[in-house]
Amino acid sequence: MDPSGPSDDDASGFTHTRPSGERHVPVLLERCLELLAPALEVPGAVVVDGTLGLGGHAEALLTRHADLTLVGLDRDREALRLAGERLRPFDGRTHLVHAVFDEIADVLDRLGLGRVHGVLFDLGVSSLQLDEDERGFSYSRDAPLDMRMDPTTGPSAADVLNTYAPGELVRVLRDHGEERAARRIVEAVVRARRRAPLRTSAELVALLEQAMPAASRRTGGHPAKRTFQALRIEVNGELDAIAGAVPAAVDALALHGRVVVMSYQSLEDRIVKRVLGERSRPSAPPDMPVLREQDQPELALLTRGAEKADESEVAANPRAASVRLRAAERIREAA
């Protein structure tokens, strides 16, 4: 999945008429395969792709490991349909499930699967969602202000803009977009919606271009970037889902199972860093002379900090420019 910055939007050139395999270039594919490989070499291994998207990582995993069973989760039914077409050669080894990735424990329970050997998360907005004009995720193309990853449920971005109290809108922009001009933007939104509801991305972009301070327009990137990010996160409950999904993934791992997480902005990465960091430290007080088995760390970190894509990958796939990858291995049996 991918960030929603301007260069990323403009780089794709894809439309919804192209086959899924053509429009989706998996980010850090070889690195993900390398990190997961030791855990997936055991007979009967099971991997969870918690953010299936268009199935690029899933296809590569199933191709590389002939005995692998894959559980693919996505909240977007259209993504599941397209990924299903792509993964048809692997029928019998896949379970594709309409679910949010923080529902991993419930999904595994329903499927009758126990501990799994690998979990992959590719967070953020997917290629499908970003490239479909009518979904309204991109500020570089005019579309209805929707931004729902599952367009069949929940309030849209337009609903948030037009119905939230001013103080709540300020919170959304500050907490989810780290937008310094949040109050100024919200004042402009409130004035605009008194005249008529905001309905399209072009209307919002025009408002933001006028509302943003001149200094921010010169140095802060596209004036709509943080607001669109904030609305998308709010509409889809993304940060709460990540905060639940990463611990659930760790809990689902078998001994020596591995989790790999790719984030595309700092709010996501902070959650991943915190969870993996906490689970890779002893749970006993620092002055404890001898650690009991239950106090030993559950995880060993496999990356030093967050890994980023190199120049060659970014040149080939501009959507990899902001990726941050973290990975860990379970080193103590689950309780």
Q: Give the chain's domains with CATH numbers.
A: 6-128+238-330 (3.40.50.150), 138-236 (1.10.150.170)
Q: Does residue 17 have a pLDDT over 70? A: no
- Whole-number pLDDT of residue 124: 80
Q: Which positions make up the binding site? A: 55-57, 74, 101, 122, 129
Q: Which positions make up the binding site for S-adenosyl-L-methionine? A: 55-57, 74, 101, 122, 129
- Residue 335, CA distances (Å) to 46, 51, 253, 255, 332 in order: 20, 26, 11, 11, 9
Backbone angles phi, psi at 261, to 5 degrees: -130, 130
- Sheet of 46-49: strand order equals 94-98, 69-74, 46-49, 116-122, 253-263, 324-330, 299-301
pTM of the shown model: 0.87
Which residue shows structure tokens 């590719």? 122
- Whole-number pLDDT of residue 140: 76
Please say whether the beta carbons of 147 and 157 come within 8 A: yes
Q: Which residue type sits at 208?
A: L
Q: How many CB atoms lie within 10 A of CB 167?
A: 10
Half-sphere exposure (CA, 13 Å, Cβ side) for 272?
27
Let me know if 304 is exposed, middle or buried by CB neighbors in 10 A (0-12, 13-18, 19+): exposed
Question: Which stretch of 89-103, 123-137, 142-156 has the lowest confidence by average pLDDT?
Answer: 123-137
Q: Does residue 96 have a pLDDT over 60? A: yes
| pLDDT, the chain, mean | 88
| Predicted confidence (pLDDT) per residue in 175-217, tens digit | 999 999 999 999 999 999 999 999 999 999 999 999 987 766 6
- Whole-number pLDDT of residue 217: 60
CA distance 75 to 67: 26
